[in-house]
C-alpha cells in the first residue's frame, strides 16, 4: 500500500523547487550581507577606539612632559628673579645658593630633554654590537656606585662575577645598568639601611644580571605599568628610564623583567643571549672584546 501511495503521490513541480532555491539564496545573501555589515562596523569601532586611545596617550604624555619641564623652569625663573634684587644677593652665601639652584635645575631640565630625545629616537637607534665582557662592564658601574657610597649611604653587595660575554653595544648596556642602579638607590632614599645587590652569572644559554634593592618594593598594579613610557612612581622624572632600558635590552635580543614583593624590595633582571662566535659572518674577523 505504501509503495502504491508513493508511486501515485504527485512530485513537486519545477516552479516550487525554483522558488525554494531562490528563497535559500536570498536568505543566505541577507545573512552574509548582515554579517559583512556587522564586521565592518566592528572594524570601524576598533579603529575608532584605537585612534581614541592614541589621542588619549598622546595627551597624557604631553601633559606629563609639560608638567615635568615646567617645574624646573619655574625654579630657574624664581631664582633668576631673586638675583635681580640687590638687597637679597648682596650676601655672598645667598648669591651662591641661588646660582647653584639655577645651575642644578637647568641641568635637571637638560637631563629630562636628553632622556626624551633618546626615547623619541629609539626606533632609529643603531647598535654597534661587538663581543662585550659583561661582567667587566657591570663591575665598572659597581665601582662608581661604591665610590659614591659615602654620600649616598648605600651598601653595595657584589660577589664574584662569573665571566660572561655577550654581543652588544657597550655604551647602551652601560646606560641600562646605570639607570637600574640609580633607580634602586632612589627607591631606598627614605630608609636608613640601604643595601644594593648586584649579581652577574651565566644561566643556561643566557647572561643574567640581577640588580636588587631592599626598598619598599613595587605593588602588583605598578608592576604592570612601570615599563610603559611616561609612567613613574617617583615625584621627579619623565617616566622614560625603564621604557628606554627595556627597549635597549630587547634590541639586543634579551629581556628585562622585574620581581617584587611590597615591603621586601625589588629585583630587576636583565637576560641577554651569550656570545656565540659561530654567528659571525664567514670570513669576517672576530671583533676585539670590549
**Domain assignment of residue 8, yes or no:** no
Structural domain count, the chain: 2
Whether 88 and 172 map to the same domain: the answer is: no
Specify the pLDDT at position 288: 45
Tens digits of residue pLDDT in 111-147: 777 767 766 665 556 788 899 999 999 999 998 888 8
Q: What percent of the chain has pLDDT over 70?
A: 66
Q: What is the pLDDT of residues 9-23, one digit of tens each?
A: 455 555 555 555 556
Whether 229 is covered by a domain: the verdict is yes
| 8 Å CB contact between 252 and 246 | no
Q: How far apart are CA 151 and CA 254, in angstroms?
A: 33
65: domain CATH number?
1.10.287
Asked, for residue 158, whether it belongs to a domain, the answer is yes
- Are residues 181 and 269 located together in one domain of the fold? yes
Q: Is the pLDDT of residue 186 over 60?
A: yes
Give me the CATH number covering residue 263. 3.30.565.10
Residues 33 and 106 in one domain: yes
Domain end marker among 120, 145, 180:
120
Same domain, 140 and 242: yes
**At which of 90, 120, 150 does a domain end?**
120
> Are residues 28 and 140 both part of a single domain?
no
Tens of pLDDT, residue by residue over 247-267, are 899 999 999 999 998 888 999
Q: Are residues 230 and 134 in the same domain?
A: yes
pLDDT-based confidence at residue 219 (cuts at 50, 70, 90): confident
Please state the pTM of the whole predicted model: 0.62
Query: What are the pLDDT digits (tens) for 70-89?
Result: 777 888 888 888 888 888 87
261 found inside a domain: yes
Same domain for 32 and 159, yes or no, is no
In a domain, 10, yes or no: no
Among 120, 140, 173, identify where a domain stops.
Answer: 120
Pair 109, 151 in one domain: no
Q: Chain centroid to CA 83: how far?
A: 41
Sorting pLDDT into bands at 50, 70 and 90, what band is 3?
very low
Q: Residue 89 belongs to what domain range?
A: 16-120
Is residue 165 scored above 90 in pLDDT? yes
Residue 284: inside a domain, yes or no?
no
Residues 58 and 163 in one domain: no
> Does residue 5 sit within a domain?
no
> Distances from the Cα of 122 to the Cαs of 133, 172, 181, in angstroms?
24, 11, 21
| Same-domain pairing of 136 and 178 | yes
Q: 249 and 155 in one domain?
A: yes
Are 150 and 271 in the same domain?
A: yes
Amino acid at each position: 500500500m505504501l509503495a502504491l501511495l508513493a508511486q501515485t503521490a504527485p512530485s513537486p513541480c519545477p516552479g516550487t523547487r525554483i522558488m525554494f532555491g531562490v528563497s535559500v539564496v536570498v536568505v543566505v545573501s541577507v545573512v552574509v550581507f548582515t554579517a559583512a555589515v556587522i564586521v565592518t562596523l566592528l572594524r570601524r569601532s576598533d579603529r575608532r577606539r584605537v585612534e581614541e586611545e592614541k589621542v588619549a596617550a598622546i595627551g597624557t604624555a604631553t601633559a606629563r612632559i609639560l608638567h615635568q619641564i615646567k617645574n624646573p623652569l619655574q625654579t630657574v625663573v624664581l631664582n633668576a628673579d631673586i638675583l635681580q634684587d640687590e638687597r637679597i644677593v648682596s650676601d655672598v652665601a645667598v648669591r651662591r645658593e641661588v646660582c647653584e639652584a639655577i645651575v642644578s635645575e637647568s641641568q635637571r631640565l637638560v637631563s629630562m630633554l636628553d632622556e626624551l630625545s633618546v626615547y623619541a629616537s629609539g626606533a632609529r637607534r643603531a647598535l654597534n654590537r661587538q663581543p662585550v665582557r659583561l661582567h667587566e662592564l657591570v663591575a665598572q658601574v659597581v665601582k662608581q656606585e661604591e665610590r659614591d657610597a659615602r654620600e649616598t649611604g648605600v651598601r653595595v653587595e657584589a660577589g664574584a662575577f662569573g665571566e660572561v660575554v655577550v654581543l652588544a653595544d657597550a655604551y647602551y648596556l652601560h646606560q641600562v645598568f646605570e639607570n637600574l642602579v640609580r633607580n634602586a638607590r632612589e627607591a631606598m632614599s627614605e630608609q636608613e639601611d640601604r643595601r644594593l645587590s648586584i649579581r652577574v652569572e651565566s644561566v643556561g644559554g643566557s647572561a643574567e644580571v640581577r640588580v636588587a634593592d631592599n626598598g619598599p618594593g613595587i605593588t602588583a598594579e605598578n608592576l604592570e605599568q612601570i615599563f610603559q613610557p611616561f609612567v613613574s612612581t617617583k615625584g621627579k622624572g619623565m617616566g622614560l628610564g625603564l621604557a628606554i632600558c627595556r627597549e635597549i635590552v630587547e634590541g639586543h635580543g634579551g629581556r628585562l623583567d622585574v620581581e617584587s614583593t611590597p615591603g621586601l624590595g625589588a629585583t630587576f633582571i636583565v637576560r641577554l643571549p651569550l656570545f656565540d662566535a659561530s654567528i659571525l659572518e664567514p670570513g669576517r674577523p672576530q671583533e676585539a672584546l670590549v
